Amino acid sequence: MDEHKKGKVLIVDDESMNVKLLDAYLMHEYDIISAYGGVEALEKVEAHNPDIILLDLMMPDITGYEVCKILKGSEKTRFIPIIMVTALSSLEDRIKGIDAGADDFLTKPLDRLEIKTRVGSLLRIKKLHDELISERDQAQNYLDLAGVMLFVLDENGIVKVINKKGCEILGYRENEILGNDWFESYVPELFRENARKGFEKLLSTQAVSTGYFEIPFLNSNKQKRIMSWTNIVLHDSEGNINGLLVSGEDITERIDAESKIKRANEYLDNLLKASPIAILALDSKKRVVTANRNAADLLGYEVSEIIARPIREFADDVDLLEFTDKKDFEMVFYTKHDEKVRMNVSTSLLPDDGGTEGLVITLQDRSRLRGLFITPLTEDIEVNSDQADIELESGYIYLSGSEDPGQSYHAFSELVKSGKPGLCITRMNPDKIRNMYGIAKTPIVWLTKNKMSGQQSIDSTELFRIHPTIADFVNKVEDGVVLMDGLEYLILDNDFLSVVKLLEQTNDTIMASSSRMMLQLDPDVLEKKEFHLLKRWMRPVTGDTPPQDKNL
């Protein structure tokens, strides 16, 4: 009830004279609403929400007892004070009125001073009650506006108050939560005993705040979630501990994400340490943040001597290190003893959610590698592709003698899509191969004189670079597969015996590895003697008819 407004008094009596009399007594202090029967009284309560009701007992339609029971039985009207006005004065009548929910009684004939005193007293109580309700509702609104779960437990662990966010997190309505034992209802059984002991220990402390905890809870689907909890001990007016205010935030997704990141970082760290490739990682200011053992050995340092230093202390032309993916370019690095080393460099952009960028650098001494520096990548394994239709034993070169190279590419694509790391060396445009055979990640080396292709490439006249490229790849992988197409192109730009020596050298490397190699060659481009010289230590691809010279 607003203290700046008059209180609203509903007078209910079937006799108009009684209504007028009470109106005359109270009209100067209060706003008067009149009703002349029980049904009308209920309608007026619904329409005007009075602050107090003066209710006659004996009415023809509904008695005052019945009206009182209806109003006290409604959540909306139960706190409206009701004074029963009656000519009946027996103890039995008063007990009946009390049972119906009456707050006070006035006995006819009515005394003006008594009426004003009783009405004023009950309205003051009603005003205090309304203020408490308003403060409670305002506090609940504040709780509901909070972005975290808030609830109050009494000294027995019973939920007394919970906000809207808490209901959402638990997956229940408010009335389904209030009155429940928190530990029995929402804490997993495995953690229940320790959680309750912790609660009892908190209530025995004199501290106001009890710090931060991470404890699981169960939602309505019986899913275990992780919450971060902050607790505040509550005290009554005499300073006695009587409960706990708990704020909580569901951090399940964060914990899962942190766990995945931790596992990924551990995996990457182990991969970095075990990698045969020399690797450095730079931050956005081109300072070294990570280096593996191979990178340190290549530069003649300990790993700890490299970390946190600018890359310009180790290399010339650091502007070449752009924050982008870039493959196979040359830079000059300097060892700890100031020796100049020409490195084959590739970079990979390392984006960050915060908007900053990092760079992963792979290095290889060009004096040790005349071929290309190949980074092995595997395709995403397709459903039902755990095993390819074609089987090629490792340690051999297989000859696919067909005019149509499509058979070789199809077999190669099956093998890499079944999870084998692959390398393709080809005369065909790599983009077309990727589109035709669905090869997205497998490294492809283009045999071309076009140095501006934007692809990893080897000039057909640079025969000496092919074997180191293949050797670099098979030494890095287990159970790999190499496809080489374009042998005719190499023979045209070089002499035949040089190509044979290349293949013999490559065969020695393949035999000592866990990989296999497929060689695509149209036999019609060679003389009979040349073809037999090539195929003498090769196997036919499974399913192929062993290539025969048409003159045989």
Residues 208-224 have pLDDT tens digits of: 555 667 788 888 888 88
The last residue of a domain, from among 79, 109, 142: 142
* Enclosing domain of residue 305: 275-365
State the first-to-last Cα distance of the chain, in angstroms, to the nearest integer.
114
Confidence of residue 548 (pLDDT cuts 50, 70, 90): very low
- Render pLDDT for 347-385 as a digit per residue (tens, 0 to 9): 888 776 555 678 889 888 876 657 777 888 888 876 555
192 within domain boundaries: yes
Strand partners, 484: 425, 519
Q: Are residues 11 and 106 in the same domain?
A: yes
Domain of 93, CATH number, reads 3.40.50.2300
Q: What is the pLDDT of residue 464?
A: 82
Residue 373 is predicted with a pLDDT of: 74
pTM of the model: 0.38
Residues 441 and 519 reside in one and the same domain: yes
Span 500-529, pLDDT tens digits: 889 999 999 999 999 999 999 888 888 888
On average, the pLDDT of the chain sits at 84
No. of helices (H) and no. of strands (E), the chain: 18, 22
| DSSP bridge partners of 105 | 84
Q: What is the CATH number of the domain that holds 246?
A: 3.30.450.20
Choose the final residue of a domain: 142, 176, 205.
Answer: 142
CA pair distance 400, 161, nearest whole angstrom: 78
Give the DSSP letter string of 170-222: HTS-HHHHTTSBHHHHHS-HHHHHHHHHHHHHHHT---SEEEEEEEEEE-TT-
Amino acid of residue 289: V
Q: Are residues 401 and 483 in the same domain?
A: yes
Same-domain check for residues 138 and 178? no
Q: Which residue has the tokens 């760290």?
A: 269
What CA–CA distance (Å, rounded) separates 229 from 199? Answer: 12
Q: Helix 91-100 vs helix 64-72: angle between axes, to the nearest 10 degrees?
A: 30
What is the SS3 assignment for 369?
Answer: coil
Amino acid letter at 393?
E
Question: Domain count of the chain?
Answer: 4
Whether 440 and 466 share a structural domain: yes
Residues 6+ apart with CB under 8 A from 150: 143, 161, 162, 163, 165, 166, 245, 246, 247, 248
Q: What's residue 435's pLDDT?
A: 93
Band (545; pLDDT cuts 50, 70, 90): very low
DSSP code of residue 381? P
166 and 75 fall within a common domain: no
If you average pLDDT over residues 268-283, what whole number do you get?
A: 75
- Specify if 547 maps to a domain: no
Round to whole Å and give the CA distance between 228 and 250: 7
Range among 120-124, 128-132, 137-141, 331-335 rated most confident: 331-335
Query: Residue 506's pLDDT is what?
Result: 94
User: Where is average pLDDT lowest: 44-48, 164-168, 236-240, 321-325?
Assistant: 236-240
Q: Positive or negative, the Cα torsion across 431, 435, 440, 443?
A: negative
406 and 519 share a domain? Answer: yes
- DSSP label at residue 62: S
What is the arrangement of strands in the sheet containing 278-282, beginning at the earlier edge strand?
288-291, 278-282, 357-365, 340-351, 326-334
CB crowding 119-158: b at 16 or more within 10 Å, else e: beebbeebeeeeeeeeeeeeebeebeeeebbbbbbeeebb
Report pLDDT digits (tens) over 52-61: 999 988 888 8
Q: What is the mean pLDDT of residues 46-74?
A: 90
Does residue 97 share a domain with residue 199? no
- Is residue 43 domain-shared with residue 73, that is, in the same domain? yes
For residues 256 and 221, which has the higher predicted lDDT (pLDDT)?
221
Looking at the structure, tell me whether residues 131 and 34 fall in a common domain: yes
Asked if the structure places residue 157 within a domain, the reply is yes
Q: Is residue 419 part of a domain?
A: yes
105 with 180, same domain: the answer is no
Q: Percent of the chain scored above 90 by pLDDT?
A: 31
What is each CA distance from 296 to 130, 194, 299, in whole angstroms?
76, 50, 5
Examine residue 205 and state whether it is found in any structural domain, yes or no.
yes
Tokens found for residue 132: 């408490």
pLDDT of amino acid 549? 38
319 class by beta-carbon count within 10 Å (0-12 exposed, 13-18 middle, 19+ buried):
exposed
Sheet hosting strand 7-12, strand order edge to edge? 30-35, 7-12, 52-56, 82-86, 104-107
Same domain, 195 and 223: yes
% the chain with pLDDT above 70: 87
Burial of 60 (0-12, 13-18, 19+ CB in 10 A): exposed
Q: What is the chain's length? A: 552
Rounded Cα distance between 118 and 82, Å, is 11
Band of residue 551 on the pLDDT scale cut at 50, 70, 90: very low
With contact defined as beta carbons under 8 Å apart, do 387 and 363 qualify? no
293 and 303 in contact (C-beta within 8 Å)?
Answer: yes
Report the CATH number that the domain containing residue 452 is assigned in CATH. Answer: 3.40.50.300
Is the pLDDT at 178 greater than 70? The verdict is: yes
Q: Which of 365, 383, 408 is the last residue of a domain?
A: 365
pLDDT for res 180: 94
pLDDT tens digits, residue range 281-327?
898 899 998 889 889 999 999 999 999 999 999 999 899 998 888 87
Identify whether 94 is part of a domain: yes
Asked if the peptide bond before residue 109 counts as cis, ω within 30 degrees of 0, the response is yes
Residue 384 within any structural domain of the chain: no
Asked if the structure places residue 72 within a domain, the reply is: yes
